[in-house]
Amino acid sequence: MPSSHASVNPIVLGLQIGLQILFLSLLGFAVVMALLSGDDVILVVAISALMLLTYAAAFFAHAVTAPAWRRTLRWVWVLALTVEWALLVSLTPFAAYLVFPLFFLYLELLPEPAATLAVGVTTAAAVLALGLHAGWSVGGVIGPIVGAGVAVLIGRAYRALRQEAADHQRLYEELQSAQSALAAAERESGVAAERARLAREIHDTVAQGLASITLLLNAVERADPQAVTAEQVRLARDTAAAGLAETRRFIRELTPPVLDEQSLGGALRRLAEKSWRRPGLHIVVRAPDALALPMDQQAALLRVAQGAMANVLTHAGATRATITLSASVEDTCLEIMDDGVGFDPAANAGPSGPSFGLRAMQERAEQLGGTVSVQSAVGDGTVVRVCIPREHGS
C-alpha cells in the first residue's frame, strides 16, 4: 500500500516503486505462463484481474482519514489479496512467486507478530503449491524459505527507513513552525520595544515640558489674577493642559495594549482571568500594582510570562500555576511555577542549545542584562525564573 507521507526518503520511494513493479511483473508472468501451459486459463485470468483490482484499490485508501477505518480496511485488503493469491496458486504453480511481494506487504502493513506469522504461513503454502504442482525438489523448498528470510530482512530495513524519513519530516516541520513563531515573536518584540521607546521619549520630553509650562502658568495666574495679561495667561495654560492631555493619550496608545495602565501586575491578572483561563487549571498571580518599572522591562517580562504560560497551557497538563512578580534593590524577578508533567531540561536543550521558546525568553532577558533559569524534572512540574537588573534601562 503506498505511503501517505508527504516527503519520503528517496530510498524508501525507490523500494515502494520497486514493490509495485515486482507485483505487476510476477502477476503478468503467472498469467502468461498459464496461457502457455493451458492451466485453467479463464479462471487464472479472472482471478488475476480481480487481484489486480484489489491491489489498485489501495491507491484510493488515502481518502479514508479516520484511523480506525484505515486499520480495518488495511486488514481487509491484505486478507483479500492473500485469499485471491491462494486461489490463483491452486490453479497455476507460477503464481507461487507472487508470495514475494506479499511478504513485503505483510511486513509493512501488519503489526508484529502477525506480520512474521503471515510470512511463515504463506511461505509454507508456496512450498506446498510448488511441490503439488511440479513435484518436490530442493529448489522448490529452499527457494521460498530463502526468499522469506531475505524479505524479512529487507522489510525490517524498509520499515526503519520509513520511520527515519517520517521523523526527519516531522522535525523539519517543527523547525519551520518554530522558526516562523520565533520570527513573529521577534517582530512583535521589536515593534513593542520601539513603541515603548517612543512612549518614554515623549513622556520624558514633550509631556514633561508641557507639564512644566502648565505649572508655571498656574503660578503666574495665582501671583496676579487681575493683571492685564491674565486672560492670555489663562488661555496659554488651558492650551498647554490640552496639549498635555493629548500627549498622554499618545503615550497610552504607544504602550503595549495590555500594559495601558502602566501596571505589569494588573496586566498579568487580566491575562490570567481572560486569556489563560482553562477548565481544571487554577492560576494565582502575586504581583504588586504599585511596582514602578521602565516600559521596556514591563514589556519584556510580560512577553516572557506569555511564552511560559503558553507552554503551561499547551504541554504541562498542570492543575495549578503561580505567577510571582517581586522586586529588590538590585533586580526585578518574575517566576512562573506549575505542577505539570515537567521535562528534562538537559534533554530539551538539544545539540544546538535550548528550545526555541526558552531561547526567546533568554534573548529578551539578555537584551536588558537579565538572566533566565529553568528548574524542572519529569513528573515534578516546572519553574521558570527571569530576573532583570533594576538600574538597566532606567
Sorted by where each starts, the structural domains of the chain and their CATH numbers stand as: 10-174 (no CATH), 261-394 (3.30.565.10)
Instruction: State the DSSP code for 259.
Output: G
DSSP state at residue 274: H
- Residue 2 is predicted with a pLDDT of 43
CA distance 391 to 198: 20
Whether the Cβ atoms of residue 323 and residue 287 lie closer than 8 Å to each other: yes
How many whole angstroms separate alpha carbon 33 and alpha carbon 16? 26
Name residue, grid cell 530482512.
153
Distances (CA, A) of 365 to 156, 207, 306: 48, 29, 14
- pLDDT for 200: 63
3-state secondary structure of 100: helix
**DSSP H stretches of helix in the chain:** 10-37, 41-57, 67-91, 99-109, 114-134, 138-202, 208-223, 230-254, 264-274, 295-311, 345-349, 356-367
**Contact status, residue 324 vs residue 286, Cβ threshold 8 Å:** yes
CA proximity to 357, closest of 339, 377, 343: 343
**What is the pTM (predicted TM-score) of this model?**
0.38
Burial label for 43, CB within 10 Å (0-12, 13-18, 19+), is middle
Please list the pLDDT of the chain residue by residue as tens digits (394 residues): 444 444 445 766 676 787 778 888 888 888 888 888 776 788 888 888 888 888 887 767 666 667 777 778 888 888 888 888 888 888 888 888 888 888 878 877 788 788 888 888 888 888 887 777 767 777 767 877 877 777 777 777 777 777 777 788 788 887 887 777 777 767 766 776 677 667 666 766 676 677 778 777 777 777 777 766 777 777 887 787 777 777 766 666 665 555 544 477 888 888 888 778 888 888 888 888 777 777 777 878 888 888 888 778 877 888 888 888 888 888 888 898 888 888 877 765 544 445 556 777 787 788 788 888 888 888 888 888 899 887 654 4
Site of grid cell 507521507: 5
Q: List the grid coordinates of 346.
A: 538537559
Strand pairing class (371-376; 382-389): antiparallel
Interatomic CA distance for residues 227 and 43, integer angstroms: 121
Residue 374 gets which letter from DSSP?
A: E
pLDDT of residue 203: 64
